[in-house]
Amino acid sequence: MSTQDHDCDSDSDLNEEFEDVPGIHEHSTNPNSNSNGFSSAPNSNSNKPKSWAPTLTLPPQKPTPLPGSEEETQLRGRVSAGIERITYRQMKSEMGMDAPDTHLSHRRYESFAEFAADVDSLVDLLWECASPSIQTESIITLAGITETALPTHPFDGPSALTLLHKFDEVFVALCTGIHPLTREPLREASAQTGRGSVLVTQTQKVRIRSLAETTRYKVFSVLPVGDEEEEGGDEEGAGEQPWVLEATRVYDRTLMLLADDD
């Protein structure tokens, strides 16, 4: 394996690889935003809800997709192990139990933010390696796990909506062949026929659309309502945070794009 492909492999074992899974690697800088993405622009009306919007971050992609080689086999192994670990930890979260001697990297998720950090890291790995033969199917799988995880943990607006926004933009990118940040053709699409549609099969598009619709419904089912909104006060209550507005945008671009496939 050449050193120039180091980004898609690691000499560490799987436990070290996912021990301290980073969340979003880079955030766009906004001098009027705090760490949760809320705008705190001066001279704003304090009686109005603080504005918030998810931030999309993606790592640079490899210059060319991985060939059918040992390197691709290793990537498949890393992705498979990562998905298996996320599924296992989420299953334990649903059961609400852990053995006392369980290693930290295999313990149940204590929050949705913790779950989202693992998923986000794996999505970044798939995006970075730009390999359609692995990329699309694995990201669909991760999006499905995320949909089922939503009701398991207390609703966390920033982590949940940021992760879902990322899935939305990535699915649109794979379906169109256009990078969501640079608006340039995706490298993996250009390396094939120059058409983004080759990255996602028609069957996968149907699955993505169904998953998007189900997830959108699931988000509304877990939004804080009633007393939870009233008890939070002006700044902390869910009613004062734009979760409902942002929830209406969950998978918005994906659904609009795939609606034309009827």
Model pLDDT for residues 238-259, shown as the tens digit of each residue:
544 678 888 899 999 999 999 9
Residue 45 near residue 75 (C-beta atoms within 8 A): no
Domain total for the chain? 1
User: Which pLDDT value is given to residue 50?
Assistant: 57
Domain with 124 in it: 111-261
- Predicted structure pTM score: 0.74
Structural domain contains residue 30: no
Any idea how long the chain is?
Answer: 262
Burial readout 33-63 (b: 16 or more C-beta within 10 A, e: otherwise): beeebbeeeeeeeeeebbbbbbbbbbeebbe
CA angle 72, 199, 84 (to 5 degrees): 50
Position 25 in a domain: no
Tell me the per-residue pLDDT of 143-185, one tens digit each, with 9 for 90 and over: 999 999 999 999 999 999 999 999 999 999 999 999 999 998 8
Joined tokens for residue 168: 């939305």
- 23: nearest Cα among 215, 158, 202, 145: 158
Residue 167 inside a domain? The answer is: yes
How far is residue 257's CA from residue 83's CA, in Å, rounded to a whole number? Answer: 27
The pLDDT, as a whole number, for residue 105 is 67
For the cut 50, the answer to whether the pLDDT of residue 11 exceeds it is no
Average pLDDT over residues 99-123: 86
Please check whether residue 151 lies inside any domain of the structure.
Answer: yes
Helix (H) or strand (E) holding 248: none
* Burial tier of 261 (Cβ tally within 10 Å: 0-12, 13-18, 19+): exposed
User: Is residue 40 situated within a structural domain?
Assistant: no
Name the more confident of 12 and 190. Answer: 190
Query: What are the pLDDT digits (tens) for 53-71?
Result: 899 999 998 877 776 778 8
